Amino acid sequence: MTDRSATVLVGIDGSEGSADAVRWAARLAAGRNLRLELVHCVPIAALYYGGGPVGSEVLFDQLREDGDRIAAQAHTLALDTAPSVQVRTEVCLEPAPAALIERSRGARMLVLGRTGTGGFTGMLLGSTVATVTSHARCPVTVVRGRPGGGAVPQEGPVVVGVDGSPAGEAAIAAGFEEAAFRRAPLVAVHAWADGAHDAFPASAGPGPRWETLKPAEERLLAQRLAGWPEKYPEVPVERELVRDRPRNALLDASARAQLLVVGSRGRGGFTGMLLGSTSQAVIHHAGCPVLVTRPETSW
């Protein structure tokens, strides 16, 4: 049986966002001596309406041919990006979310592009990205570029969101490892603001309640980072305590980062929620790739 922990899985759909994901994942896999697995799901649901087939056999064959073409192009792109990487491609006849979630079991990482082409031929719609990120059985990276269609950054710090949750602990571990792998500094961001506790905007400057609570938030940040700088002495660490909502602070930090690492659900999330509001916001709006960790998967 193949050891899935040495596999980087990539969902592909022929879009430019998908191509960015392939390039990013190929560099990661080559740098860490991991296998690359590229999966395209033929959108067979487009052939059905009201429970019955409306597409012809010719149309189905065309969809399959398109899938083979997309997989072949992604395979070539991966090798052009990282010639030494071991690549496997698959074209499957399953809905994309179910297929990727099942194949994520035991994988080192699942990589997705930003929102895909959409419509009849696209696979990785925004809802699909959110669904897969929520339910995948391994860490998920959504590859995003700078706002306005900019390139995917390869320089800058690794930013990690620190919130004290179990998923946040996994994020810290991944953040340090990713920073060490990329020889980049780590920026640990802890943002604190709740509507009920912050009656005034951050732009108004520090108020009495913030000054009272700030020492406790500083201690939390220090406690969560304790021991990690000793384990990764080569990683410079910058600590940022931000009086703002976490999503705002992390989105701001992503504008200068090469990778943003967050937990799947923070300490303020509702029980049973698989993907918190902050994680959902950053996978759709960050200015760099976003790695989402979960507490049940080790890094």
Number of domains in the chain: 2
This prediction has a pTM of: 0.86
- The pLDDT, as a whole number, for residue 151 is 92
- Rounded (10°) angle between helices 208-225 and 166-182: 60
Instruction: For residue 222, tell me if it sits in a domain.
Output: yes
Write down the pLDDT at residue 47: 55
Task: Note whether 125 and 165 are same-domain residues.
Answer: no
Within a domain: residue 299? no
Give the three-state DSSP class for 147: coil
pLDDT at 239: 97
Where is the domain boundary, 116, 143, 170?
143
Q: What's the pLDDT score for residue 4?
A: 80
Distance from C-alpha of 203 to C-alpha of 45, rounded to nearest angstrom: 49
User: Which has the closest alpha carbon to 282: 141, 176, 175, 154?
Assistant: 141
Q: What is the pLDDT of residue 195?
A: 47
Q: Which domain holds residue 50?
A: 4-143
Task: Specify whether 132 is located in the same domain as 168.
Answer: no
Does residue 149 form part of some domain?
no
Q: Mark whether 120 and 176 lie in a shared domain.
A: no
| Nearest CA-CA partner of 159 in 298, 288, 253 | 253
Angle at 256 between CA 252 and CA 261, to 5 degrees: 75
Q: Are residues 139 and 162 in the same domain?
A: no
* Residues 21 and 135 placed together within one structural domain of the fold: yes
Q: Is the same domain home to 187 and 246?
A: yes
Kindly report the CATH number assigned to the domain that includes residue 253.
3.40.50.12370
* Block mean pLDDT (10 aa), the chain, length 299: 83 94 98 97 64 63 90 98 98 92 95 64 62 93 90 96 85 96 97 57 55 86 95 97 92 97 66 63 94 76
Tokens coding 16: 């430019």
Clarify whether residues 278 and 165 are in a common domain. yes
Q: Which residue has the tokens 């943002």?
A: 191
